[in-house]
């Protein structure tokens, strides 16, 4: 079933000869139907800087300023209040929706916002990176999705894990079981680590 919306020219693009809404406009339209956490996860993916080894593009799908411009342009759209709240929570650096959900679970529990794509050596672009963590407390956090089960990815992951462990970091790896539990146990473990327990 279709619906009609007011869309400005800059909110429409052409793909394979078909006019479609831009990623930023699609995100805004989703605010009327998605829960807040899902809307943040979509936004995180839109502003994420693509990785040359993973993505067939070099530019993000959108930017946070473009998303915020949508909010100003459509102040009475269904879901606008949720979209405004989501825009304040969107961060570049989450590579997957579960990473976004983990970050949101940590902050919703009152923990500080973690640094995303946390490298063992901050200024060394070749240094292994965890999905997120807390540099001052030397706590690193990784979410391992299904693609981490391949032999090749496990080799990369093992080198990353060893780098953090050798540098003396507290290192946590979470997975789909933790996600299914809304990261409650994960939050408890991270909180204990941050408080030196």
Q: Read off the pLDDT of residues 65-100 as tens digits, 9 standing for 90 and up.
A: 999 999 999 999 999 999 999 999 999 999 899 999
Domain with CATH 3.40.960.10 in the chain: 97-194
| Calpha distance 170→194 (Å, rounded) | 9
Using an 8 Å Cβ cutoff, are 134 and 93 in contact?
A: no
The CATH code belonging to domain 97-194 is 3.40.960.10
Which residues, listed in sequence order, are joined to residue 12 by a DSSP beta bridge? 21
- Four-residue CA torsion sign, 160, 162, 168, 169: positive
Using an 8 Å Cβ cutoff, are 121 and 127 in contact?
A: yes
Average pLDDT (1-29) is 81
21 is written with which tokens?
A: 């809404």
pTM: 0.89
What does the angle CA 152 – CA 153 – CA 154 come to, to the nearest 5 degrees? 90
Which residues, listed in sequence order, are joined to residue 174 by a DSSP beta bridge? 143
Please tell me whether residue 183 adopts helix, strand or coil conformation. Answer: coil
Query: Binning pLDDT at 50, 70 and 90, where does residue 149 land?
Result: low
Q: How far is CA 21 from the centre of its chain?
A: 22
| Calpha distance 86→64 (Å, rounded) | 11
- Name the more confident of 30 and 122: 30
> What torsion, rounded to 10 degrees, do the Cα atoms 14, 15, 21, 23 define?
-120
pLDDT at 147: 57
Beta carbons within 10 angstroms of residue 52's beta carbon: 8
132 is written with which tokens?
A: 């997120």
- Of 4-13, 49-58, 68-77, 146-155, give the range with the top mean pLDDT: 68-77
pLDDT at 154: 66
The string of pLDDT tens digits covering residues 92-144 is 999 899 999 999 999 999 999 999 999 988 888 888 899 999 999 999 999 98
The string of pLDDT tens digits covering residues 35-62 is 999 999 999 999 999 877 777 888 999 9
């Amino acid at each position: 079933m279709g619906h009609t919306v007011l869309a400005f020219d800059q909110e429409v693009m052409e793909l394979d000869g078909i006019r479609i809404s831009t990623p930023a406009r699609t995100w805004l339209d989703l605010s009327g139907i998605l829960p807040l956490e899902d809307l943040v996860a979509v936004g995180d993916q839109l502003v994420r800087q693509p990785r040359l080894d993973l993505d067939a593009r070099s530019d993000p799908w959108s930017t946070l300023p473009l998303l915020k411009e949508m909010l100003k342009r459509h102040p009475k759209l269904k879901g606008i209040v949720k979209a405004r709240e989501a825009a304040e929570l969107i961060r570049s650096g989450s590579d997957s929706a579960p990473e976004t959900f983990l970050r949101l679970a940590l902050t919703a529990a009152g923990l500080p916002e973690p640094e995303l794509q946390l490298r063992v050596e901050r200024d060394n672009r070749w240094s292994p990176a965890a999905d997120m963590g807390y540099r001052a407390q030397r706590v690193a956090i990784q979410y391992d999705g299904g693609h981490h089960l391949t032999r090749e990815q496990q080799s990369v992951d093992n080198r990353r894990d060893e780098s953090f462990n050798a540098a003396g970091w507290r290192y946590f790896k979470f997975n789909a079981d933790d996600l299914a539990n809304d990261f409650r146990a994960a939050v408890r473990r991270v909180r204990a680590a941050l408080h030196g327990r």
